[in-house]
Amino acid sequence: MEKLIFEKSVVGRKAYTLPKIDVPLSEGIPNKFARKKDARLPETSEIEVARHFQHLAHQNFNIEKGMYPLGSCTMKYNPKINEKTAALPGFASSHPLTNDEFSQGSLQLMFELGEMLKEITGLQGVSLQPAAGSQGELTGIYMFRAYHQHRNDTARDTILVPDSSHGTNPASAAIAGYKVDTIKTNESGRIDIEHLKSRLGNHVAGFMITNPSTVGLFESQILKVRELINECGGLMYMDGANFNALLTLARPGDMGFDCVHINLHKTFSTPHGGGGPGSGPVCVSERLRDYLPVPQVRFEDNKYSLENDRPESIGRFHTFNGNFGVLVRAYTYMRMLGKTGMRAVSENAVINANYLFRKIDKYFDVPFDDHCMHEFIISGNRQKKQGANTKDIGKRLLDYGFHAPTVYFPITVPEAMLIEPTETENKQNLDEFADAMISIAKEVEENPELVKTAPHSTHLRRLDEAKAARMLNISWRNYKN
């Protein structure tokens, strides 16, 4: 095994070059704060440091190593130019307390990004403040509540959520103080309209749907659903985290939604995973506009400014203007693509998923035999009976150089694998992934033990996943549990 940086340390070896001091030498650190013993830092040469970090990077899976078909997460390739613009000193070094007069460029970027998001969602208002998709959901549901309260319609205490929605949807509704009533979906993965009808009434504050749903299907009855919800006085929320399926093809505003959040860190190209930062802007219909968080970016008399004087606003959801660097990346991405480029994004996302689906569907169980959107579901039920389950298949994929798909989600499908190839993979990559899946299916038939004990080629084999998540230890020391 490769030696760790501390083990490579040799006293006296150096790898630093400090710039010449250009400020007066200070008195030094007050004695009571000064270190009594030297810090134990590794002493190595520059190349050893470079090798150390390369080595660590190689142990990890990432999109630049191979395809990352993690359903619902849109782990696509993010163009490097986005990083360049986000790092421009005018953006990156701008202090968030700088007054409007000296922040015109940043404000213009936020304003124009907001206008583009309104255009692609077909809605009338926007806030860039939420720092994640789930926070966008909470923002939206707070606005629903403000809307009903403002009309003195305060008996509405329930949000209806189909069972094909992302788990964050019922969680957000509950955190906002609502009861959650789960609406069933039918065998085609769409809303059970009769069940929905039986749950309607003037206790309904709104309906919250992930579209496309977590099984990768477009809700084809959405106009009917909208009609029913609006009839009973409820509002419509769409979880648009996976907007790469719809971009320029369909607009939530045209379907009658009052609020939609979009995950900039998925569709609009900010690398994510490992916890952020992200951005989940919300777009709203005319009737929710007054409740949007403050501040709002305003453009008047050729000047951009931050508007705080909005009496009906639900308030602030994040310090300053949210995660600004993510906004710069999204803006760059959209301006680079333009309308035709954005159309290619959604078309390729959908075509790639359908192509891959139909290449492997014969080898696995298929819960919904229908055209998918940007992702699709297969089940490892058949393989489980042969001796290796979905988890084992996910692990075995690592040996083939692919990241595992999303597994055991959505929970409505047993042994689920949710596969999202994304729009940035070409036909050769899709073919290679399909070949890997087919070959694993054959391995399960012939030698399930091989799959059950995978991965065989990675630095570490099977981790205790609960511990890895809850008791993460990233120290170089080899602690004994």
Ligand X SMILES: *Cc1c(COP(=O)(O)O)cnc(C)c1O
Can you say whether the dihedral through the CA atoms of 366, 354, 424, 116 is positive or negative? negative
d(CA 381, CA 267): 31
DSSP class per residue in 111-123: HHHHHHHHHHHT-
Among 225, 241, 328, 356, interactor with ligand X by CB under 6 A = 241
Residue 204, beta-bridge partner list: 158
Q: How far is the CB of 265 from ligand X (least distance, A)?
A: 6
Q: Applying CB under 6 A, which part among 100-108, 132-140, 303-311, 357-365 lies near ligand X?
A: 132-140
Torsion over CA of 385, 391, 396 and 402, rounded to 10 degrees?
130
Among 44, 85, 210, 332, interactor with ligand X by CB under 6 A = 210
Among 280, 281, 295, 367, interactor with ligand X by CB under 6 A = 280
Q: How far is the CB of 23 from ligand X (least distance, A)?
A: 42
Q: How far is the CB of 242 from ligand X (least distance, A)?
A: 5
**Using an 8 Å Cβ cutoff, are 189 and 373 in contact?**
no
- Residue 20 is given by DSSP the state P
Q: Applying CB under 6 A, which part among 32-40, 142-150, 237-245, 283-291 lies near ligand X?
A: 237-245
Among 103, 134, 158, 323, interactor with ligand X by CB under 6 A = 134
Using left for φ > 0, alpha for ψ between -120 and 50, and beta otherwise, residue 183 falls in: beta
Q: How far is the CB of 245 from ligand X (least distance, A)?
A: 10
Among 5, 44, 69, 72, interactor with ligand X by CB under 6 A = 72
Query: What does the block give as tokens for 334?
Result: 């959209």
Tell me the residue ranges of DSSP E strands in 358-448. Answer: 376-379, 406-407, 416-419
Q: Considering beta carbons, is residue 147 or 237 the nearer one to ligand X?
A: 237
Q: Applying CB under 6 A, which part among 36-44, 107-115, 234-242, 371-379 lies near ligand X?
A: 234-242
Residue 70, beta-bridge partner list: 419
Q: Applying CB under 6 A, which part among 148-156, 196-204, 238-246, 376-384 lies near ligand X?
A: 238-246
Should residue 422 be labelled a site residue for ligand X when binding is judged by CB under 6 A?
no
Q: How far is the CB of 405 from ligand X (least distance, A)?
A: 14
Among 132, 314, 327, 398, interactor with ligand X by CB under 6 A = 132
Q: Applying CB under 6 A, which part among 103-111, 127-135, 377-385, 406-414 lies near ligand X?
A: 127-135
Q: How far is the CB of 283 from ligand X (least distance, A)?
A: 15
Query: What does the block give as tokens for 169?
Result: 């949807």
Should residue 263 be labelled a site residue for ligand X when binding is judged by CB under 6 A?
yes
Alpha helix segments (H runs only) across 275-426: 324-360, 381-386, 390-399
Q: How far is the CB of 31 from ligand X (least distance, A)?
A: 48
**Using an 8 Å Cβ cutoff, are 452 and 387 in contact?**
yes
Q: Applying CB under 6 A, which part among 131-139, 148-156, 307-315, 327-335 lies near ligand X?
A: 131-139
**Using an 8 Å Cβ cutoff, are 264 and 270 in contact?**
yes
d(CA 163, CA 151): 30
Q: Considering beta carbons, is residue 242 or 332 the nearer one to ligand X?
A: 242
Helix (H, G, I), strand (E, B) or coil at 300: strand
Should residue 130 be labelled a site residue for ligand X when binding is judged by CB under 6 A?
no
Nearest to 129 by CA among 314, 320, 326, 298: 320
Q: How far is the CB of 167 from ligand X (least distance, A)?
A: 8
Should residue 239 be labelled a site residue for ligand X when binding is judged by CB under 6 A?
yes
Should residue 168 be labelled a site residue for ligand X when binding is judged by CB under 6 A?
yes
d(CA 452, CA 440): 11
Among 125, 216, 278, 325, interactor with ligand X by CB under 6 A = 278
Q: Considering beta carbons, is residue 168 or 383 the nearer one to ligand X?
A: 168
Residue 206, beta-bridge partner list: 159, 235
Should residue 164 be labelled a site residue for ligand X when binding is judged by CB under 6 A?
no
| Phi and psi angles of residue 29, each rounded to the nearest 5 degrees, phi first | -75, 135
Should residue 296 be labelled a site residue for ligand X when binding is judged by CB under 6 A?
no
Nearest to 74 by CA among 339, 337, 353: 353
**Which one-letter amino acid corresponds to residue 282?**
V
Q: How far is the CB of 218 from ligand X (least distance, A)?
A: 13
d(CA 389, CA 256): 41
Residue of minimal Cβ distance to ligand X: 133
Query: What does the block give as tokens for 308?
Result: 């705080």
Helix (H, G, I), strand (E, B) or coil at 257: coil
Among 103, 185, 242, 305, interactor with ligand X by CB under 6 A = 242
* Cα distances (angstroms) measured from residue 223 to each of 196, 230, 351: 14, 10, 25
Q: Considering beta carbons, is residue 132 or 205 the nearer one to ligand X?
A: 132
Number of residues that bind ligand X (CB under 6 A): 13
Q: Considering beta carbons, is residue 177 or 273 the nearer one to ligand X?
A: 273
Q: Rule CB under 6 A: which residues touch ligand X? A: 72, 132-134, 166, 168, 210, 239, 241-242, 263, 278, 280
